[in-house]
């Protein structure tokens, strides 16, 4: 009887150990290999910068996705859509000039430029080139050159296929996350939560946020080149971000943000300025200097 009780306790102990086992690295390795294959099999080159990016969508798919989202946004803002006036004229003229400047790298996007009446100090360009500017941006932009800084940046996001890249990167994160979850499946509940918490923190602060900031910096650079080609004064870019910084108020530390800080952007623009001024002087009748 004692033997049976001891044997039962021993078996129970083994069961508990199995339920509270360690991380199953073999599963994680398989998913990591799958993520690596997915990554290296879908590499494309970003125009202007030559950076390799993960991208699985075709241009036609981007156009379809962007158009659907754009039509929905315009429908949701039907009452606030501005269809005529000096702001609309300026936005469309700037957009068309920047789109023409992007022609050598344009994969065949259907450029559209609209204005939405809103206090948001913002603009966007969806995959496929579908672009809108919020009227709240106009006072901060102050002039056509300032507006061209922002619109060039948004057009650059579309040209660099950042939306498609972000979706592909999220797919890869899901593959790795599934591997982590399954690898931790044999651990007790508390250990599983700890592992997934660590993975979430690394994924957010070590991958997703830096990835987003790199997109913003890349769009800043490409946008600066585009506005210079289109004969808008690139020297307005750091001035705009001084105004944006003043208008933005308190912000989280840069490592917690999806965007670089205004001062980082100002520093970057100043670093790129000699190239931008040279492009402007090569393409435009009026010559400018770095001063």
Cβ neighbors of 86 (< 8 A, separation 6 or more) are: none
Q: How far apart are CA 200 and CA 203, in angstroms?
A: 5
In this structure, the chain runs to a length of 291
Is residue 210 within 8 A of residue 202, CB to CB? The reply is no
Q: How far apart are CA 11 and CA 121, in angstroms?
A: 65
Measured N-to-C along each axis, helices 25-40 and 162-183 cross at an angle, to the nearest 10 degrees, of: 170
What's the burial of 290, exposed, middle or buried (CB within 10 Å: 0-12/13-18/19+)?
exposed
Based on the residue annotation, tell me whether 105 is a catalytic residue of this protein.
Answer: no
Is residue 124 within 8 A of residue 163, CB to CB? The reply is no
State whether residue 121 is helix, strand or coil.
Answer: coil
Strand partners, 81: 116
| Catalytic position from the list 62, 144, 154, 216 | 154
Tokens in use for 66? 């962007």
Q: Which residues are catalytic?
A: 154
């Amino acid at each position: 009887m004692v033997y049976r009780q001891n044997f039962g306790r021993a078996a129970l102990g083994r069961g508990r150990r199995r339920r509270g086992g360690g991380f199953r690295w073999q599963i994680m390795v398989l998913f990591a290999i799958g993520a690596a294959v997915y990554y290296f099999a879908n590499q494309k080159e970003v125009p202007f910068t030559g950076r390799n990016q993960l991208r699985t969508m075709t241009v036609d798919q981007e156009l379809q996705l962007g158009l659907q989202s754009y039509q929905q946004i315009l429908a949701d803002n039907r009452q606030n859509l501005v269809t005529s006036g000096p702001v609309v004229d300026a936005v469309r003229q700037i957009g068309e000039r920047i789109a023409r400047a992007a022609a050598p790298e344009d994969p065949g996007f259907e450029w559209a430029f609209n204005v939405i009446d809103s206090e948001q100090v913002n603009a966007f360009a969806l995959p496929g080139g579908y672009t809108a500017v919020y009227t709240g941006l106009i006072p901060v932009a102050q002039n056509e050159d300032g507006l061209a800084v922002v619109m060039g940046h948004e057009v650059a996001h579309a040209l660099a296929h950042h939306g498609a890249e972000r979706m592909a990167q999220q797919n890869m994160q899901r593959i790795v996350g599934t591997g982590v979850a399954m690898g931790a499946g044999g651990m007790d509940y508390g250990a599983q939560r700890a592992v997934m918490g660590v993975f979430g923190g690394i994924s957010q602060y070590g991958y997703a946020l830096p990835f987003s900031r790199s997109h913003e910096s890349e769009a800043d650079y490409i946008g600066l080149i585009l506005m210079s080609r289109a004969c808008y004064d690139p020297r307005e870019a750091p001035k705009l971000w001084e105004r944006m910084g003043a208008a933005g108020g308190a912000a989280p530390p840069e490592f917690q943000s999806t965007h670089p800080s205004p001062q980082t952007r100002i520093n970057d623009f100043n670093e790129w300025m000699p190239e931008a001024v040279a492009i402007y002087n090569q393409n435009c009748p009026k010559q400018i200097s770095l001063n």
